[in-house]
Amino acid sequence: MVKKISILYTLMILLPFLLSSCAEKGASKKPMKVENNKVFNKEVNDFTKFWKEFKIAALASNKEKIAELTCFPFIDSYNQVYDSINSLTSRNQKEFLEKYNLIFTNEVLAAIKSDSYRGYDSTLYTDAIGLHDILLVAKSNDRSKDLVFKFNNGNYCLSYIAYYP
């Protein structure tokens, strides 16, 4: 009986330490938190710097700068599913520049101007973006033009158009 009680006390003492240890290991995998369309996590400075440069270039219609800030291939996930003939997927900068005006519509530019972006949302059943991605939410009438920015090789880049299953 005494042995059972001593094991129970030992477990009661060690359990909080074990739980806090597990919580700390998982802390680095927490999604970005979003508050008033601003992203808060350790990558916030990287995205903020990227966003400032991206926004200035987009609003000035500096297509070449936007192409430099884009990862290739740039994927049109939406049209890969719904309309592959009219896909905006671009394998390289040349193709991207040819399709630029179809990607950067008035709705997309309005979303950029108003900083309508967010990080991963764990409250959604299935979010269209990954844990460390940023989604620009463009309210488009005809189809999804929500742009996704990924953290790639130490920098953010425009990566693809989101698809919502």
| Amino acid found at 101 | N
Asked whether the predicted pLDDT for residue 28 surpasses 60, the reply is no
CATH number of 34-161: 3.10.450
Kindly list the distances between the CA atom of residue 89 and the CA atoms of 18, 61, 150, 151, in Å, as whole numbers in the listed order.
48, 20, 16, 19
Parse the chain into domains and list their residue ranges: 1-30, 34-161
Per-residue pLDDT reduced to its tens digit, 34-60: 443 444 444 556 899 999 999 999 999
From the centroid of its chain, how far is CA 151? 8
Write out the two tokens for 161: 């158009």
135 pLDDT band (50/70/90 cuts)? very high
